[in-house]
Amino acid sequence: MKAVYGLYDDPHVAQQAVDNLRAAGVADADITVISSEPFDHFEFGHRDAKTVMPWVAVAAGAVGLALTYYLLGASQRAWPLVTSGMPIVPMWTNLIIIFEMTMLAAILATVVTLLITAGLPSRGGKMYDPEVSDGFILVGVENPSDVDRLEPALAIAGGRVKKIT
Amino acid sequence: MNRTLTKPIADDLIRPLFQTSIWFYAIVFAAATVVACGAAAWGYQIWFGIGVAGIRWPVFWGFYLVNFVFWIGISHAGTLISAILRLVNAGWRRPVTRCAEAITVFALMIGAMFPIIHLGRPWLAFWLFPYPSARDIWPNFRSPLAWDFFAINTYLTGSVLFLFLPMIPDFALLRDRSTGWRRKLYGFLAFGWRGTTKQWNRLESAMQIMAVAILPVAVSVHTIVSFDFSMAAVPMWHSTIFGPYFVAGAIFSGIAALIIAMAVLRKTLGLEKYLQPLHFDNLGKLLLLMCILWAYFVFAERLTVWYGNEPSEMAVFWATQRGAYAPFYWTMVVCNFVIPFIILANPRTRTILGCVIASFGVLIGMWLERFLIIVPSLAHKQLPYSWGSYGPRPTEITIMAATFAGMVLLYALFSKFVPIIAIWELKAGLPSRLDTATQTEASLLATRLDSESFPPESGAPRGARP
């Protein structure tokens, strides 16, 4: 993997580096920003914010609901237990289990969606610098076509440029 | 500029993981010893049979079920409080959430053990699991015990994930800062986290969705635990108020447990800079609110029973008000209402120490409340010939003590391997993050964060007089 990136102490400088890369003609999708915390109050922190996760959770909840409704009814009809005058398939009591399974399905789907869309677990091999954990913000481009063109865009006061060749 | 602000925070919060005092070993050793005694007591019960416990006709639910309800109640500390504070975006939540979520997971694990201990023959516990079997023992989904299975497992799964997901970025930080086996362990737990903007956005979205999903589950869990009682035609159990009454009591005891845990962590791990008086003041206010709500529920429940004047219920009523169980009842009232109300209603006494004293009172009172719900009702059923009494045996007391020690042990070990305060969440709440927000937003948010996340060193609660 080839990469060129800058490490910045200050999020304002990191934002400037992102803007410079854009000005240098790098597509938004090719710019990688890595930090040890979310930066919700900076423009670069809102890249890739759109997600279908809520809809996946709702859909999974609906599937969990339908599946539990079916399985409960099927189990109860397969072995009809008569309990204190209640119907064989009593909706009042079944609703409790249906509710729990609906929520469990939504929770599990959320976690699975998070893992898939965030690319976790990952075995590495991508652009990273352990100095990020010390508070530096990494702004860079993986496999750039022209490293020399991007280096000046990342070389801003308050930052250090590194290259992986 | 960023690093000068955030690096000391990370250093402070990671330090307890790499520096171990003699006190840590002493606490772990003491707690492990008590847990070992509990395990031996359980082994003794398995070997000689459930008869070594004090539960016998007509009181078949004794200490084990009291502790089951108590610990499930304590589990409401974390995920529920954390989810509410996360949803309302309360700035002061940041140092509190992980302490709270850990309590939930450990308390649920401990609570869920009690029905298995209570079985007497734990190796047959799988008979209770609701699956169609070849032995013609089919699950009865109309039984509240089957509901418990689903509710507790859903809540435990959700709570574990709710605790684990925000730990991933901190594991990545620890991976980069550690060596040897720790580096391998944290590397494995970090799942290859890098901290790209996409990963941060997905994590925050997931936490929001899970907060929404886990709230009704938390409420449902203790409602269903209350159904274990209210679905039975036993005096003072068959009540429509039991669901919300149990939920209120659970949150009440949960907050108390959280305050005590935070106070202990603050002292033992040197987190005075992060767990400030303001956090205790805010939690103290919540505890006061729940104290008043609890008193309201007790009054509503007692008044309805007294007004109804149904003989079998009045037998239980008077047994607790002025009979054999009266000392426990009035101790409960003092511990759950009188002490916390006096301490917490006054801003001058709502200090860290005051909150801790009130919380200890609440834990004792709530344990007694669980005891008073279960034992007097079973000892005074409808027909007087079936009345009886209950006294715990050493086996039950030892096992109970072991679960409290188990909680201490699990918490001590957890705080040794995981930063007990979410580092990235704390850093994200720093006022410097607001610089590029609009002027109005910045001033509003800065006021909130400056005063709530990082109040002055004096840590005086807002509104407190100098």
ipTM: 0.94
What pLDDT was estimated at residue B33? 97
Beta-carbon neighbour count of residue B43 at 10 Å?
10
Q: Which of A21, A50, A51, A96 is most worth mutating to test chain B (most B CB atoms within 10 A of its CB)?
A: A96
Q: For chain B, give the mean pLDDT.
A: 87
What pLDDT was estimated at residue A122? 86
What pLDDT was estimated at residue A162? 84
Asked if the Cβ–Cβ distance from A78 to B132 is below 8 Å, we say: yes
The candidate with the shortest Cα–Cα distance to B74, out of B66, B62, B86, is B66
Q: pLDDT band at residue B367, thresholds of 50, 70 and 90?
A: very high
Residue A97 touches partner B, C-beta closer than 8 Å = yes
Separation in Å, CA B265 to CA B133, B282, B353: 47, 17, 14
Separation in Å, CA B188 to CA A93, A120, A134, B410: 42, 11, 20, 21
pLDDT at B454 over 50: no
What pLDDT was estimated at residue B295? 97
B132, B141, B176 ranked by CB distance to A133: nearest: B176
Amino acid at B336: N
What pLDDT was estimated at residue B431? 64
What pLDDT was estimated at residue B432? 57
pLDDT at B459 over 90: no
Vertex A159, ends A46 and B431: CA angle to 5°? 50
The candidate with the shortest Cα–Cα distance to B297, out of B243, B339, B343, is B243
Residue B146 touches partner A, C-beta closer than 8 Å = yes
Q: What is the mean pLDDT of residues B100-119?
A: 92
Q: Count Cβ atoms within 10 A of the Cβ of residue A164 and give its class: 0-12 exposed, 13-18 middle, 19 or more buried.
A: middle
Over the stretch B63-74, which tens digit does the pLDDT of each residue have? 999 999 999 999
pLDDT at B352 over 70: yes
Question: Measured between beta carbons, which residues in chain B are less than 8 angstroms from residue A32?
Answer: 196
Task: For residues B20 and B412, give the distance between their C-alpha atoms in angstroms, rounded to a whole number.
Answer: 11
Q: What is the DSSP string of B312-367?
A: HHHHHHHHHHTSTTHHHHHHHHIIIIIHHHHHHSSTTT-SHHHHHHHHHHHHHHHH
Question: Measured between beta carbons, which residues in chain A are less than 8 angstroms from residue B2?
Answer: 8-11, 135-137
Q: pLDDT band at residue B433, thresholds of 50, 70 and 90?
A: low
Helix (H, G, I), strand (E, B) or coil at B28: helix
Cα-atom radius of gyration of chain B, to the nearest Å? 24
Largest alpha-carbon pair distance within chain B? 78
Task: For residues B209 and B229, give the distance between their C-alpha atoms in angstroms, rounded to a whole number.
Answer: 32
Asked if the Cβ–Cβ distance from A36 to B427 is below 8 Å, we say: yes
What pLDDT was estimated at residue B435? 47
A54, A122, A133 ranked by CB distance to B209: nearest: A54
User: Which residues have CB under 8 Å from B442's CB, separation 6+?
Assistant: B434, B435
Q: What is the mean pLDDT of residues B215-228?
A: 92
Over the stretch A80-138, which tens digit does the pLDDT of each residue have? 888 888 899 999 999 999 999 999 999 999 999 999 999 989 887 788 999 999 889 99
Amino acid at B263: A
Q: What is the mean pLDDT of residues B151-168?
A: 94
Give the up-direction half-sphere exposure of residue B436: CA atoms within 13 A in the CB hemisphere. Answer: 15
Question: Measured between beta carbons, which residues in chain B are less than 8 angstroms from residue A118?
Answer: 198-199, 202-203
Task: For residues B205 and A53, give the distance between their C-alpha atoms in angstroms, rounded to a whole number.
Answer: 7
Task: For residues A6 and B383, give the distance between their C-alpha atoms in angstroms, rounded to a whole number.
Answer: 81
Please state, for a pLDDT cut of 70, what percent of chain B lies above it.
90
User: Locate tokens 């690319």: which residue?
Assistant: A119
Question: Measured between beta carbons, which residues in chain A are less than 8 angstroms from residue B200?
Answer: 35, 37-39, 45
Q: What is the mean pLDDT of residues B403-407?
A: 96
B141, B196, B202 ranked by CB distance to A93: nearest: B141
B140, B210, B224 ranked by CB distance to A96: nearest: B224
Q: pLDDT band at residue B134, thresholds of 50, 70 and 90?
A: low
* Beta carbons of A42 and B436 less than 8 angstroms apart: yes
Amino acid at B334: V
Separation in Å, CA A15 to CA A21, A30, B6, B45: 10, 15, 18, 65
Q: pLDDT band at residue B136, thresholds of 50, 70 and 90?
A: low
From chain A residues 34-73, the ones with a CB under 8 A of any chain B CB are 34-49, 51, 53-54, 57, 72
Task: For residues B355 and B132, give the distance between their C-alpha atoms in angstroms, rounded to a whole number.
Answer: 49
Please state, for a pLDDT cut of 90, what percent of chain B lies above it.
66
Residue of B nearest to A9 (CA): B2
Over the stretch A34-84, which tens digit does the pLDDT of each residue have? 999 998 888 888 888 889 999 999 999 999 999 999 999 998 888 888 888
- What the block records as the tokens of A18 is 């992102």
